[in-house]
Structure 1
């Protein structure tokens, strides 16, 4: 996980690392260039079925491909689509996401990126039930502004004759947590966490063990003097 610690003015990284013992940590959200790329990637898939690119999935064993062969879906594939789009844009910790929409919500809880205000590149989860760890659907936010948001999701369009689902784009002015556009209640928004190589250009790095789990962590300082830790 990549986490900003705080901004320091000291020139030496050793002094910065020593200070991390008393500094608070939080997850670094994706940079604007990454979120806009996520939106562009998702939008380019509009109209495709579950077997585009041989099937949508993150490429990790936690997910299986959306394509069951002969152009048909292998399962409800909205989370597979999110996993695929995020994987194309350097999002980290995708092994936490499986074929279920609920796993995307859980990703947000685990990595501290679950929130209530939509941002481009976010996933939006609908009808999440904590008691069963189940959600009905997940899509991606591709635009925010003018009192509305636009979302792109996989495994949609069944009511319009697409029996295997397609990637579909829709806009709504109902986007607050608890609103129910298209009859599905918005449970929250989940921002992606990006890998260090995508998010930052580090000027200094050093190894260490921040959280005491005996697994090496990476400390790094960017050109603005901000310190980050990538936990092992």
Structure 2
């Protein structure tokens, strides 16, 4: 057997220690480095949800509200119209259909339907000192419209009869001013005194109404002018 010398033994021991230290160093270099985690973001807490308590349907009433009761009013009979006449000659007016009465003493024209007076229209008939309007019975004739006579115009004319010219019912006469506007003449005579040349004058608005009422073929009575009634006694409507 070979005997190891002390010097060799020390060298071997030093070599072993060196190798061990080298191994430790190498193992230390291969060890993983520590990893630092980034901080997580702070989460905003969600709002707290408070559930709404369910409605207890069993507590609800299924009853239908009562239907309001309507008050039934007894039908009242419509009172019959009692004819009221403004002219004594109204007694001669037919009790059925339509009719027209011109009372020259009153200077009013009355419109009737089924014997009931529905309208009283102020008028002016023929001047008795010039050429008055004669008493007459007949029916309203054709619609003439606008015409020109004695230097004036008149609208809504309805033909009645001939007597020294055509006798008509028409609106008050008028002329035109320099601006083309109508100037109606002798409106103050309507319902007061006779002033025409024989025709029956009425207000333009009344003549328009009469035209829409359409008097063609309607019976008409024109009473005579007697001059018995003064202007103070003339009716006011």
TM range (shorter): under 0.3
Structure with the bigger percentage of helix: 1
Q: Based on CA coordinates, which of the two structures has the bigger radius of gyration?
A: 2
TM-score by structure 1 length? 0.22
TM norm structure 2: 0.22
Higher RCO by CA contacts (8 Å cutoff, separation 6 or greater): 1
